[in-house]
């Protein structure tokens, strides 16, 4: 954002006069005065539709950078992998293991980023003919990250090298165990870490304090892909490919796309290229595990970041949350179509069980949060119960964070009073840093994470101390972040104008996700000609403009919210409606669908 213009409030106009919507938000134009001018210049120079140019300009794309932005390529955006601290040492050590024929153990986290990182490295090593074995820890029995018993087991099974992906940056004790049994360790991670590092041969992490690569926005799967590129180069230098064919690195981009989207890292720079090109790789359905998962998730037509984040990712996660943590990685590495179909169906069933657990826990957590807000209105909400499943607490925290617009922790306690918790934050509030400081001060037994998500281990008797600490540490950040609840609008259109051609044009500016928000459009004074509930609390709608055009729409999980109640109770009335456009593909036919985010009564808007 340019500093030569006044503040956001002065340069961003209110849209349709909406100052208080069903979602208690102000609708404000996303573009500043400067960005409006840039959008016009981009449209004129590049020849793209003005609405696409507006989307680009609102996301700080420059006039000169528009063409390259519309076609993000791995070749143009890929840095030299050696810019990552320790990467060359890591590549050399793994290359030694490859040349000596050692079995390589891969230790991954139990989330989607961990599963895709593990599978990406495993598929590359398997293409070289190298024996490798993935170990994903059991969330309840082993907890997060490398642990001594698992390391000793892997060594006993014949592992000559341990590579930890999406974990390991703070595993001091576990890696001392590895050293004691003569097992070298390489770490490929992206989690925030302090100055002191555990004993390893190499620790590759762009968020190391001594790493100057500027790649801290990568997910672990992105770091792993860069590592594989560096390893491939090292093996080529050693003459490995004189007698055998090099693995197809671009074929691994489908895994990079899934992990990047599901870990909710910013879709900028190389991450955008990973997702754009990875989605193209997904079209080929070469990874039979991902293809089977898309089938059971009922992803019709070309997959999008939305499908990956909300349909595919949760199913990969389901094994790590409430079932066999290794199922996701096993699915993503299999070449057997029957096995893939069986695992995908198991994960689909587990995901349904997870949804049922989540609904029960969310109801209880919501009641706790409401009491807390009414009693003391804390900056950070702490919820928890003895009966909660530790694999689902992160999802509960995320839902409550959206509902109460502040950071939330959901904590599952065991019979000894030890709580395993997961927290989710709001933009502008660094939850990970606060958790690490709480560990340093002895309030937490263990903890860490990112700005937007963190995990912790806390004794029940320290809960009040934790609440006071978080309130002191984050009150100012939370206050600023919650000072005004805005919905930023990219433009206005009618149902008649919402064509498949328009959506395809907008897709040129994607993929959209964290750090590169999906365009939001306002439909002025559209009549709700149909409204009903469908599925698990969704509201299905038909929106009609005054010119005979209509648009199918859906408001997900909105039935019991002020938005859903407004739309259901006042069928036939006109509303200003805000949301996102997408294409729904069924039996080869494309249809535009509008995902409703908010609505407002035109009679109560200030025009």
Question: CA torsion sign, 429 to 435 to 436 to 440?
Answer: positive
User: Residue holding tokens 């491939």?
Assistant: 232
Is pTM beyond 0.85? Reply is yes
C-alpha to C-alpha distance for 104 and 506, rounded to whole angstroms: 44
Count of CB atoms within 10 A of residue 64's CB? 9
pLDDT in tens, 255-269: 999 999 999 888 999
Helical axes 500-507 vs 50-58, angle rounded to 10°: 40
8-30+486-604: which CATH architecture?
Beta Barrel (2.40)
CB of 38 closer than 8 Å to CB of 50: no
449 vs 468, residue with greater confidence: 468
C-alpha to C-alpha distance for 570 and 39, rounded to whole angstroms: 37
Q: Which of 89-93, 231-235, 482-486, 581-585 has the lowest mean pLDDT?
A: 482-486
Helix (H), strand (E) at residue 185 = strand 184-188
**pLDDT over 60 at 7, yes or no:** no
C-alpha to C-alpha distance for 115 and 109, rounded to whole angstroms: 7
C-alpha to C-alpha distance for 22 and 333, rounded to whole angstroms: 45
pLDDT in tens, 264-300: 888 999 999 999 999 999 999 999 999 999 999 999 8
> What per-residue confidence (pLDDT) applies to 1?
31
CB of 333 closer than 8 Å to CB of 119: yes
Regarding the domain delimited by 377-481, which CATH topology (the fold level of the hierarchy) does it fall under?
Answer: Diaminopimelate Epimerase; Chain A, domain 1 (3.10.310)
Residue 268: CB partners within 8 Å, gap ≥ 6?
Answer: 217, 515, 516
Count of CB atoms within 10 A of residue 102's CB? 18
Would the CATH topology of 8-30+486-604 be identical to that of 76-349? Answer: no
CATH number of the domain at 76-349, out of 3.40.190.10, 1.10.3720.10, 3.30.70.20, 3.90.1640.30? Answer: 3.90.1640.30
**57-to-65, 210, 248, 490, 589 alpha-carbon distances in Å:** 10, 34, 36, 10, 32
> What per-residue confidence (pLDDT) applies to 587?
72
Domain-by-domain residue ranges, the chain? 8-30+486-604, 76-349, 377-481
pLDDT band at 2 (very low <50, low <70, confident <90, very high): very low
**pLDDT over 90 at 119, yes or no:** yes
> What per-residue confidence (pLDDT) applies to 11?
56
């Amino acid at each position: 954002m340019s500093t030569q213009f006044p503040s956001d409030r002065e340069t961003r106009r209110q849209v349709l006069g909406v100052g208080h919507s069903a979602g208690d938000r102000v609708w404000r134009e996303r573009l500043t005065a400067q960005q409006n001018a840039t959008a016009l210049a981009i449209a004129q120079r590049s020849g793209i539709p003005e609405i696409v140019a507006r989307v680009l300009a609102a996301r700080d794309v420059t006039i000169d950078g528009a063409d390259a932005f519309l076609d993000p390529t791995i070749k143009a955006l890929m840095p030299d992998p050696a810019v990552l601290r320790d990467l060359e040492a890591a590549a050399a050590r793994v290359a030694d293991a490859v040349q000596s024929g050692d079995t390589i153990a891969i230790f991954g986290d139990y989330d989607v980023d961990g599963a895709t990182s593990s599978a990406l490295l495993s598929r590359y090593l398997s293409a070289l003919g190298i024996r490798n074995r993935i170990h994903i820890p059991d969330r309840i029995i082993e907890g997060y990250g490398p642990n001594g018993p698992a390391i000793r087991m892997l060594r006993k099974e014949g592992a000559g090298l341990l590579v930890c992906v999406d974990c390991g940056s703070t595993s001091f004790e576990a890696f001392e165990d590895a050293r004691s049994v003569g097992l070298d360790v390489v770490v490929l991670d992206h989690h925030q870490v302090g100055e002191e590092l555990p004993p390893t041969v190499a620790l590759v992490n762009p968020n190391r304090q001594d790493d100057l690569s500027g790649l801290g926005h990568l997910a672990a799967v992105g770091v792993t892909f860069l590592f594989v590129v560096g390893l491939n180069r090292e093996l080529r230098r050693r003459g490995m490919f004189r007698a055998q064919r090099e693995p197809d690195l671009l074929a691994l981009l489908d895994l990079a796309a899934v992990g990047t989207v599901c870990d909710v890292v910013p879709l900028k720079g190389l991450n955008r290229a990973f997702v754009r090109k990875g989605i193209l790789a997904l079209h080929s359905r070469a990874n039979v595990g991902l293809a089977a998962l898309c089938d059971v998730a009922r992803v019709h037509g070309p997959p999008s970041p939305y499908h990956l984040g909300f349909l595919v990712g949760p199913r990969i996660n389901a094994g790590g949350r409430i079932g066999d943590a290794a199922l996701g990685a096993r699915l993503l590495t299999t070449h057997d179509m029957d096995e893939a179909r069986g695992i995908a169906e198991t994960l689909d069933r587990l995901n349904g069980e997870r949804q049922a657990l989540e609904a029960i826990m969310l109801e209880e957590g919501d009641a706790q949060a409401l009491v807390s807000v009414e009693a003391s209105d804390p900056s950070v909400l702490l919820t928890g119960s003895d009966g909660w499943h530790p694999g689902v607490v992160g999802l509960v925290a995320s839902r409550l964070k959206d509902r109460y617009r502040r950071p939330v922790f959901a904590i599952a306690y065991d019979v000894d009073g030890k709580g395993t918790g997961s927290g989710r934050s709001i933009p502008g509030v660094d939850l990970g840093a606060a958790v690490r400081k709480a560990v340093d001060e002895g309030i937490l037994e263990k903890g860490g994470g990112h700005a937007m998500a963190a995990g912790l281990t806390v004794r029940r008797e320290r809960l009040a101390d934790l609440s006071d600490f978080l309130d002191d540490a984050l009150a100012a950040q939370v206050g600023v972040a919650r000072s005004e609840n805005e919905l930023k609008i990219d433009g206005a259109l009618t149902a008649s104008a919402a064509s498949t051609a328009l959506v395809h044009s907008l897709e040129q500016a994607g993929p959209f996700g964290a750090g590169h928000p999906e365009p939001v459009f306002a439909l002025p004074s559209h009549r709700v000609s149909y409204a009903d509930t469908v599925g698990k609390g969704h509201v299905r709608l038909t929106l009609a403009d005054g010119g005979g055009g209509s648009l199918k729409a859906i408001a997900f999980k909105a039935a019991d919210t002020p938005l859903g109640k407004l739309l259901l109770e006042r069928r036939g009335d006109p509303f200003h409606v805000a949301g996102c456009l997408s294409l729904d593909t069924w039996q080869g036919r494309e249809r535009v669908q509008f995902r409703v985010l908010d609505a407002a009564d035109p009679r109560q808007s200030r025009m």
